[in-house]
């Protein structure tokens, strides 16, 4: 079994790396958006990285679709814009597949291995200190 201190030091290093990456990512995501038109091209929607609607453009001809038709056009444009924004987010987050749990089996044991329970108190204290190092929620 791996020494708990080295495993926690490795985990702390991974967390520090994640903090650096997320700081950069937070800035990038605040500027990301997605814009798309509905199938007819009469309605265009823009959303931010979270999918919130930030812009909507209606061609005069869209108003001839009636209230239900216009609602359908708006929803279509909105869903397409969200898909575009989601693709942009995926492009910017590619490679950030962080697997915090990788290698922790050596520290905590395999399922059904209860020998690690003796280290539970130490583990909880160290996790509490690591939790203090985690970044806050993205803005």
| This prediction's pTM | 0.58
What is the reported pLDDT for 117?
53
Tens of pLDDT along 58-98?
Answer: 999 999 999 999 999 999 999 999 999 989 888 877 765 54
Helices 4-31 and 120-133, interaxial angle, to 10°? Answer: 30
CA distances from 83 to 8, 19, 75, 78, 88 (A): 38, 27, 12, 9, 9
What are the tokens at 40?
A: 């007819």
Tell me how far apart the alpha carbons of residues 122 and 101 are, in angstroms, rounded to a whole number: 18
What are the tokens at 86?
A: 């989601």
Q: What is the widest separation between alpha-carbon atoms in the chain?
A: 72
Tens of pLDDT along 96-111?
Answer: 554 444 555 555 555 5
Q: Which residues contact 123 (CB under 8 A, 6 or more apart)?
A: 4, 107, 108, 116
Do 34 and 46 touch, CB atoms closer than 8 A?
yes
């Amino acid at each position: 079994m791996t020494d708990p201190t080295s495993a926690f030091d490795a985990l702390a290093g991974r967390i520090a790396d994640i903090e650096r990456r997320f700081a950069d990512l937070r800035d990038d995501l605040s500027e990301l958006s997605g814009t798309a038109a509905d199938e007819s091209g009469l309605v265009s929607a823009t959303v931010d990285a979270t999918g919130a609607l930030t812009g909507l453009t209606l061609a005069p001809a869209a108003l001839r679709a009636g209230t239900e038709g216009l609602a359908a056009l708006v929803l279509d444009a909105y869903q397409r814009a969200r898909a575009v924004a989601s693709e942009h987010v995926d492009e910017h987050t590619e490679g950030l597949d962080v697997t915090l749990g990788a290698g922790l089996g050596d520290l905590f044991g395999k399922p059904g291995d209860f020998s690690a329970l003796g280290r539970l108190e130490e583990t909880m204290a160290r996790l509490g200190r690591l939790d203090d190092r985690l970044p806050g929620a993205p803005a």
